[in-house]
Amino acid sequence: MALPLAVALIFLSLTGCKDRDKGDFVLGAVLAMTGDASKYGDQMKEGMDLAVEEINQHGGINGHPLKLVVEDCRADPKTAVSAFRKLTTFHQVPAVLSGISSVVVALAPVAAESKVVLLNCAAVTPKIEGANHYTFSDLPNAKQEGAFLAESVFSRYPQKKVAIFWLNNETGLALHDNFKDRLLKLGGQIVADETHEAGATDYRAQLLKIKSTEPDVICMPTWSKEFGLAIKQARELGLGCQFFSIAAMENPEMLNIAGSAAEGVLYSYYSLNENSPDATSRAFVGAYQKRYSRLPTVYNWTCYDGVYLVAEALRHGADTGEKMADFWLKMPVYKGATGELKFSPSGAVTTALRLKTVRNGKFAELPDKNGK
């Protein structure tokens, strides 16, 4: 099996992605290292760093070491575009990994203009799918996750009253729209539709409006910190209904904030599984735990695989944006830590989704039909 060699927001030089003085392969990343989304930038960089470290321990790419160059975009689209141009002009990279929906949407046309591959490892807006020949994603988008959440809610709470409380940004809007559309088509009932800003700390006004509608379920597609604060305040206000959320909620930060208030939450999650019997997945989890002394979160996984995907292309001589895009579109199923990945002609991947829960203060799998 090919050694995983890609780094989130990898930028490879147009002359073979090498630093001309040192002979290194230069990898670039545009990440939110500061600001409200910095927790996700940290997670993404951890996955990338681990992959680069492994690659270099095993001889690099064709004998040349990898070097990761990270530019901070602060989750701001304009700053991200400037960072992208810096990486592609100064470091002459042909591929980039990134995340945050508004950032990736802003970078996609610049990637096409520059003929540089943009690999999204964290954003979920459906606007990314089919953006252009150079834009790819290695995780499901909000169209798939929002619909899955709606189907999960309806199958467990048919004909019950549902409230939506969503994050007011590109990601939250996409999840809200796809969840709402699918739930209504299934025959579900939406009794409240409220929003909140990123970084908010007081959710009581919106929660009281929601409470007045007496919902059976609250679906809250938002980030981990915001979810933790909101569900804690909801329980304090006497809202005892079932909460649903998304994969981005799975973060120790949420558990630390919410405490027992998060018990029983149900949330969508990808096919990746730290308890998987698959050798590639086990190797990743073991290596991550050894380095960081904790289990990986979702963007550790996707960024780690992102590096592997770029490496696979480089190993086969696809060292320009155009060559890499063509290689990925023709590539058979790729076996990564997150599972089997295959890019569609639109640059998207479709992988299985499942529900997880919070049990005894930990993120946990749902019991199977036999209760195990």
pLDDT digits (tens, 9 = 90+) for 265-276: 999 998 888 888
Asked if residue 217 is part of any domain, the answer here is: yes
Same domain, 361 and 218: yes
Same domain, 359 and 227: yes
pLDDT value at residue 315 = 86
pLDDT value at residue 151 = 97
pLDDT value at residue 22 = 59
pLDDT value at residue 137 = 97
* CB of 163 closer than 8 Å to CB of 282: no
The total number of structural domains in the chain stands at 2
Same domain, 262 and 299: no
Asked if residue 2 is part of any domain, the answer here is: no
Asked if residue 89 is part of any domain, the answer here is: yes
Closest C-alpha among 261, 280, 250, 281 to residue 145: 250
Q: Tell me how far apart the alpha carbons of residues 215 and 165 are, in angstroms, rounded to a whole number.
A: 12
List, for the chain, all residue ranges whose pLDDT scores fall below the cut of 70. Answer: 1-23, 368-372
Same domain, 315 and 195: no
pLDDT value at residue 10 = 38
Same domain, 245 and 281: no
pLDDT value at residue 93 = 85
Same domain, 147 and 264: yes
Same domain, 251 and 170: yes
pLDDT value at residue 2 = 41
* CB of 319 closer than 8 Å to CB of 92: no
> What separation in angstroms does the CA of 18 have from each of 83, 87, 242, 352, 361?
19, 13, 52, 36, 46
pLDDT above 90 covers what percent of the chain? 76
Same domain, 147 and 257: yes
Asked if residue 96 is part of any domain, the answer here is: yes
Asked if residue 371 is part of any domain, the answer here is: no
Asked if residue 20 is part of any domain, the answer here is: no
| Structural domain containing residue 31 | 25-140+275-351
CATH number, domain with residue 194: 3.40.50.2300
Q: Which DSSP symbol is given to 115?
A: T
Same domain, 222 and 103: no
Same domain, 78 and 175: no
pLDDT value at residue 42 = 96
Asked if residue 4 is part of any domain, the answer here is: no
Same domain, 95 and 45: yes
Same domain, 46 and 122: yes
Asked if residue 19 is part of any domain, the answer here is: no
